Chain A
């Protein structure tokens, strides 16, 4: 798949090289390779954007140098979709002198703004917790990196942050999200919500056999504003003064026009 120019981002390249490196280091349990595809490599946000459905599909084939003609399963596939990262805080309200206010907060650096896991079975059945955590497949694994030194507090706030993100539809785990159409061919469907933050996304696909990762692949796609929405969003950050002036002129004009139209 050809990547969009906007994907030539440092993080993506780093990740790609990391995976290549990792793939070379860990000798696969069985020589298998993953051929996969995304239904769309960019999701465009227009004025009527109300979410978008994406399809991931692929097939597991013998490795290029392998002598075997077929691969033997059973396989499990896990697709992890990661959105752009942000620094996010979780806050807790407590009651002091009868008033509820935010008293505690923990900041999580480089926290994904979107994280969905699709798998062909229960994650606990596919592999062990260590593999899931070290590969960042579990939502909670993203809350481990925090500047806060209080371990217990970080753990509590991290769990709450994951819950809040899940309630917003930004985090999720669908343990029946991947369907095998044959022994080696799978497809998965994901609906990006309308509040999906724009930016570069990565879809990481892992193939498991007997609890071990035997193949993996990463693909990128972009969620971006196009046309007028992109123009407005850019203008507000690059020409904030002009943007503000235009807002005011628009407001004055609308107010004046309202007075003229409805004048009796």
Chain B
């Protein structure tokens, strides 16, 4: 069944949209990530204009993260104080990201920056995660008891000025790294159409030493708030949010995420992280190849300005 997308101005198969929404939702439920880093490339590869894909996926990420964030909130697993700092700086970063998005689109370099951004981000995060999870799995095989890193181990980052106490995370640290993380993820997330959960979680764990029980919840809450703001910014600035496209993806995504979450119970944490690392690396390699392999068609076209 074909459905006409009024902003993308093209007709797409409805089942295809709900299907990729569901498949990505399954993976996002399985690994506890937003899934934007998979959905945006998939839409672009299937012919949706890159600006519309990026802007509409931000709306989908909001929906995908909401049910998870609510569940964590009920369990009290969100550090709202920490999330607030992250969101405020994240929205600031998103302003920069959306402005940069428009500049790059007009200069014809948006695709290049999106490819490079995905390659660098996903490549480095994927490699780190793969190394870490492989080590954990090997240690477990040998029978070594894996000691969790203590949350109150400090490093130099915590010693920076402007210290704030985050009660729920049991942290008394400088806000500067918190704000910088928020700013960076807001900028990158709005530019690439990803929630940034897969950068946020390692950043909170390894840089800020946020304890494991509030990491996922806080990251999800931050993603919901920041992506909601980004959706509005994209709607105002580039006017390329396709509400029908976003809705089809949301419906598939929220349903798929529930099945993913229950499937995730059968896998151990380090196995999940290893699989996610492989997935992330695969997407990174796909983008890397698109940069170095000669394109099938060196010429491309785009509409500049509006209809007249």
Scan B239-275; emit 1 where CB is below 8 A from any A CB, else 0.
1010110110011001101100010000000000000
Asked if B59 and A247 sit within 8 Å, CB to CB, the answer is: yes
A141 interface residue per 8 A CB criterion: no
Given A99-B292, A100-B292, A256-B70: A92 and B254 interface contact (C-beta under 8 Å): no
B109 at the interface (CB under 8 A from A): yes
> Would you list which residues of chain B between 36 and 71 have a CB under 8 Å from chain A?
59-60, 62-68, 70-71
**Cβ contact within 8 Å between A248 and B59:** yes
Total A-B pairs, Cβ < 8 A: 200
Determine how close the nearest CB of chain A comes to the CB of B62; give it in whole angstroms.
4
Query: Is B66 touching A256 in the complex (CB atoms < 8 A)?
Result: yes
Most chain-A CB neighbours within 10 Å: which of B3, B111, B251, B299?
B299
Q: B residues within 8 A CB of A195?
A: 9-11
Instruction: Please give me the residue from chain B that is nearest to A257 by CB atom.
Output: B254
B6 adjacent to chain A (CB < 8 Å): yes
Using known A-B contacts A49-B11, A84-B308, A165-B301, determine if residue A101 contacts B294 with beta carbons closer than 8 Å: no
In contact, B243 and A107 (Cβ under 8 angstroms): no
> Are the C-beta atoms of A89 and B235 separated by less than 8 Å?
no
* B108 within 8 A of partner (CB): yes
CB-nearest residue of chain B relative to A98?
A: B292
Find chain A residues with CB under 8 A from B4 CB: 45-49, 194, 229
Contact between A107 and B304, CB atoms less than 8 A apart: yes
Binds A, one of B166-174, B186-194, B211-219, B226-234: B226-234
Of the candidates A91, A94, A198, A247, which one forms a contact with B246 in the assembled complex, judged by CB atoms under 8 Å apart?
A247
Contact A85 B308 (CB under 8 A): yes
The DSSP consensus for interface residues of chain B is helix
Complex interface: chain A residues within 8 A of B146 (CB): none
Which residues of chain A come closer than 8 Å to B224, judged between CB atoms? Answer: 252, 255
Q: Choose from A45, A237, A250 the contact partner of B243 (Cβ within 8 Å).
A: A250
Given contacts A101-B109, A194-B2, contact A244 B307 (CB under 8 A): no
Asked if A241 is at the interface (CB within 8 A of a chain B CB), the reply is yes
A93 part of interface (Cβ distance < 8 Å): yes
Residues of B contacting A94 with CB < 8 Å? Answer: 298
- Which residues of A have CB within 8 Å of B138? none
A232 in contact (CB, < 8 A) = yes
B301, A90: Cβ atoms closer than 8 Å: yes
Interface of B toward A, CB cutoff 8 Å: 1-4, 6-7, 9-11, 59-60, 62-68, 70-71, 108-109, 111-112, 224, 228, 231-236, 239, 241, 243-244, 246-247, 250-251, 254-255, 257-258, 262, 290-295, 297-308
Listed in ascending order, the chain A residues whose CB lies under 8 Å from chain B are: 45-50, 84-95, 98-102, 105, 107, 110, 113, 157, 160-161, 163-165, 194-195, 197-199, 225, 229-230, 232-233, 236-237, 240-241, 243-248, 250-252, 254-259, 262, 264
20 interchain pairs, CB-CB under 8 A: A47-B3, A47-B4, A48-B3, A84-B308, A85-B308, A100-B292, A102-B300, A161-B299, A197-B9, A229-B6, A232-B243, A241-B236, A248-B59, A248-B228, A248-B232, A250-B243, A258-B63, A262-B255, A262-B258, A264-B262
